Structure 1
Amino acid sequence: MKRHTNTLGRTTLVLASATLAADMSMAAWAEYETLVAMGYPAPKEGELVHVPPTMAALEEADLHPELKKVIRRGYDLFTNTQQLRGENVFNDMNCSSCHLGEGRQPFSAPIWPAAIILPNFRGKNQHVNNLEERIAGCFAYSMNGTPPEYGSDDMLALSAYHQWLATGAPMYPDQPIYGRGFPAPERPEELSYARGEQGYLDNCAICHSEDGSGLYEDGEYVFPAPWGDGSNNWGAGIVRTHTAAGFIKNNMPLGQPLSLSDQQAWDIAYYMTRQERPQDPRYTGDVEETLEKFGPTFHKNSSYGEVREHDGHRLGDHANWGEKGEEVKPWNVGQSRFEDMED
């Protein structure tokens, strides 16, 4: 990639020095110039920069027509996961509720990195996960549901969509990935529930409702619920305060990314993640025991089991499973791997 002149003078060197997946074209780089113009950081020297292909590009791709059908199905499931409501999904979420821009958007946990870094060890469940297992985790926690079976048509389609977005990116890259995850700004010294509540009412309630129940119009899903029975459960990654702060800072309010201060993003995240939601499916029947078991690997960064300041309520101390009720249990939670290799 050669240097070029643009209005974003500070990106010129980075353009030449970042590792560009699959000889990225200047047209593709324009997406990243737009991000920098909006205030996102420019890629650093040595970072892997990848612009995922679009669905329009799929039509021109030299792939078998049947594979294209499966990728389209994966895209359809990813952007409208509510079609699996009552079978695999038991809340008001789509995959694209958290992974914005059809799963392509940097700083909104784009999904293509999962296709090039997995199989890999995952601290959340303490074993090596493949792509299907990673997707299954989203169904169990973020969707408060139970995943499609491994190897099923729906799981294959979702995996194919992830891998299509990774087209041209190297497997197991040895450099950082630009725009991966929900990078959080530096945590302020103090977080305020009251400030967070006011910040939520001022900036978020118009789309997600004052009570956090989300927004439906004429019975149709529009915006997700950030807490409550229609939201993700206590095991979802975004209930961790730093993860929520990163999502909010980089993506919210919708259409106005980076418009909130770091303090506002953290305060709003603190307020939202100290609201109740369905129980963690790993719940043992006792919140203290569950916290002891999963605190070191997950809940050390959430408010699970903490006592809320203003009313003394202990978060997560309940047996509310949301819409799925007590009978629906995600079959993938607690599934052991490679037990014969422990010695």
Structure 2
Amino acid sequence: MSRGKRLTLLLAVFAVFALVLTGCEEPAKSVFDPKGSAGEKNLDLIMLSVYIMTFVFVVVMAIYFYVLIRYRQKPGDNTIPKQVEGSMKMEMFWIIIPVILLVILAIPTLTTTFTLAEKPSEEEDALRVKVTAHQYWWEFYYPDLGIKTAQELHIPAGKRVHLELTSDDVVHSFWVPELGGKQDMTPGRTNHMWLDAKEPGVYAGRCAELCGASHALMNFEVVADEQSDFDKWVAKRQKPSSEPRTAEQEAGKKVFSQNCMSCHAIEGTELKTSGGKGPDLTGFGERQKVAGLLENNDENLDKWLKHPDEIKPGTYMPSFDFLNEKDMKNLKIYLESLE
């Protein structure tokens, strides 16, 4: 097999491999199906770069195959093609064309980047959220509403949300593929971005920066509600139902205060000023996921409490497998009662 044919075969194999890899992420998390204005702007940039790269690829491959066929070695033909090295016209051509293509890509890239990083004006009716990344969980604080939560970012559909992003430990990266692009989160620095969801739904979020053993498991969800439903959620978070209503919940609260309050806080109780190291557990019973990964049910909560490091390697969450069966049951009942 000639060198040219081997190269062609290699390119074909690479293209097929790349197509297979694009299917590794489920469609619900695709940047090619944006559900918000920021996501649409990012898709426009992606498609522009794809068009430019496709154009370059087609031109280069056309020249490649033309040269491959036109100047192939022929039986009895030992002539040497015309040499054009040192041609000023050719060198200028190969310089000017790439520069033009880079300018076409650079201008919208820069304008979009600065647009998506704009801070909200005082007149703008936008929701403001401070996002802090931890190993390996997410903290969301609504300064204008006095609400702090974790793992689920609740927003009203159709409204712009401005995010102030920082990290508590190492460099992380905030990314909700359907709603917007990635933004680094650096300790000691606050970065800004905005996003919106044009329709209600639950959108998957990810950490897009390698941040430790459980980087791939550092997930969160953006829950976009109709404005009325979002207002109801805000009202419940501002006046949470956290006090025990049964003897089992009372017993579970006691277990919590003895084992968990050094890391976790719960609004609506005397435990609201405790914690700080771990996620705020106010409204835990209404969250869709345990640790941002598992469906919120008794079985998965039991797994998380007993063997957190098996679910998220490197987590600071300690194991509570030392609790007896009764205490563990009551603790789970209390946690699931938090609204």
TM exceeds 0.5? Answer: no
> Rg: which structure is higher?
2
